[in-house]
Amino acid sequence: MPQSQNNKTILVTGSAGFIGFHTTLALLKQGHTVIGLDNLNPYYDPSLKKARNKILKKYPNYHFYQGDLIDLPFIKKVLVKHKIDQICHLAAQAGVRYSLTHPHSYIQSNLVGFTHLLDETKNHKIKDFIYASSSSVYGQNEKLPFAVNDPVDRPASLYAASKKANELIAYTYHHLYGLNCTGLRFFTVYGPYGRPDMALFLFTQAILADQTIKVFNHGKMQRDFTYIDDIVAGILASLDRAYPYEIFNLGNHQPVELEYFIELIEKNLGKKAKKEFLPLQAGDVRATYADITSSQQKLNWQPTTAIETGVAKFIKWYKEYYKIK
Ligand SMILES: NC(=O)c1ccc[n+]([C@@H]2O[C@H](COP(=O)([O-])OP(=O)(O)OC[C@H]3O[C@@H](n4cnc5c(N)ncnc54)[C@H](O)[C@@H]3O)[C@@H](O)[C@H]2O)c1
């Protein structure tokens, strides 16, 4: 376990990414030292990653390294330079749909990169390894809500398979070397500085540009959209407790129909969407819904942001960031 609440040195991978940025900011504000690592890859507009990183660089207790997790000497260099107390591993090749066309990117970042980092964590005798898994691991499960002890052996995409593999690899390192490993299954995270490849961003952008939005499964989809501040609270609680081996669902526990989600965006933009209704995409699932009993009990975690509040906050940010009247 970490020595003190306020002077930990934490390595956050993917610190220029959406969740990594918000997590790092919260840690810096709490007075911790953060070693940030990111390759700033162009999966989506790197200028957004640079803008997030610019905000973080204003903090003297933030030390950033640009590099790739598949570059083992790079990871070794960073770990030798700093005495790290805990690892918060959020870097990954994200996105379900992209994994249909770019499978190797998932193998490289999510399997090779993950194992490089975990193995160096062991070599440097760092005890706590908190990492991002995903609600995608529930794949084709039909039982709702999704509980952490449900079987997750039928991933619907290579992205999901890579996240499930992370959980298994982490278990092995816990078993063999006594590392404290906590995997967090995030459920569709959204909020300011959010990802441009995700629905809220894509829909907002398209509606403002008078373009048609693609509504998959004819709008008959449910997502347990989870606000970024709630996700960060769950990550911080996991770092504070650093259990020997756990998997937690971090989801809002309030699934929302896609049609209602679009209505909220329209209401906040004061503009109607042009919709194209399409069938369910390969790799996608119809519904996600988190059972959070274990996260409530063991992390004392409770999501507090209603979708109406969260969408309004995102759109306020979007308009300010992209200077839209
Ligand atoms: N956003 C969500 O809804 C969601 C849901 C479930 C799980 N997750 C997981 O949470 C984590 C963070 O997601 P996010 O939404 O912030 O994504 P993101 O793409 O915004 O952030 C990931 C960051 O990692 C960096 N990165 C990727 N591969 C790298 C590599 N090989 N070496 C170094 N840096 C690399 C990217 O440049 C990016 O800045 C990921 O592991 C993702 O799979 C996210």
Tokens of 156: 């619907």
Residue nearest to atom 7 of ligand 1 (CA): 134
User: Which atom of ligand 1 has the smallest separation from the CA of 226?
Assistant: 3
**Pocket residue to mutate for ligand 1, from 13, 23, 39, 230, most atoms within 8 A of Cβ:** 39
pLDDT, averaged across the chain: 96
The helix (run of H) or strand (run of E) holding residue 51 is: helix 46-56
pLDDT at position 51 over 70 = yes
CB 285 within 8 A of CB 140: yes
**pLDDT tier at 282 (50, 70, 90 boundaries)?**
confident
Q: Where are the beta strands (DSSP E) in the chain?
A: 9-13, 33-38, 62-66, 86-89, 128-134, 180-186, 189-190, 212-215, 222-223, 226-227, 245-250, 256-257, 274-277
| More reliable by pLDDT, 283 or 125 | 125
Task: Give the mean model confidence (pLDDT) for residues 143-166.
Answer: 95
What is the Cα–Cα distance from 48 to 54, expressed in whole angstroms?
A: 10
Q: 303: CA distance to ligand 1 center in Å?
A: 21
**pLDDT score at 255:** 97
Tens-digit pLDDT profile for residues 249-263: 999 999 999 999 999
- Output the CA 14–ligand 1 centroid distance in Å: 6
CB 254 within 8 A of CB 224: yes
The predicted-structure confidence for 290-306, as pLDDT tens digits, reads as follows 999 999 999 999 999 99
**Atom number, ligand 1, closest to the C-alpha of residue 41:** 37
What is the C-alpha R_g of the chain?
19
Q: How confident is the model at residue 204 (pLDDT cuts 50, 70, 90)?
A: very high
Q: Calculate mean pLDDT across residues 294-323.
A: 98
CATH of 9-190+225-252+289-304, one of 3.30.70.270, 3.40.50.1100, 3.30.930.10, 3.40.50.720: 3.40.50.720
Q: 3-class DSSP state for residue 167?
A: helix
136 CA: nearest ligand 1 atom: 6
Distance from Cα 18 to the centre of ligand 1, integer Å:
7
Instruction: Report the predicted TM-score, pTM, of the whole model to 2 decimal places.
Output: 0.97
The band of 281, judged by pLDDT with boundaries at 50, 70 and 90, is: confident
pLDDT category of residue 284 using cuts at 50, 70 and 90? confident
pLDDT in tens, 2-20: 444 568 999 999 999 999 9
Average pLDDT over residues 186-212: 98
Question: Cα(207)–Cα(265) distance, rounded to whole angstroms?
Answer: 9
271 CA distance to ligand 1 middle (Å):
31
Looking at the predicted structure, is the pLDDT value of residue 94 above 60?
yes
pLDDT in tens, 172-185: 999 999 999 999 99
How do residues 98-119 score in pLDDT, each as one tens digit? 999 999 999 999 999 999 999 9
Per-domain residue ranges of the chain:
9-190+225-252+289-304
b/e sequence 107-137, b meaning 16+ C-beta within 10 Å: bebbbebbbbbbebbbebebbbbbbbbbbbb
Peptide bond into 151 cis (omega under 30): no
The pLDDT assigned to 325 comes to: 83
> Looking at residue 3, what is its pLDDT?
42
Res. 39: pLDDT tops 70:
yes
Ligand 1: residues within 6 Å at CB?
14, 16-20, 38-41, 49, 68-70, 90-94, 109, 113, 132, 134, 186, 188-189, 195
Q: Whose CA is nearest to atom 13 of ligand 1?
A: 19
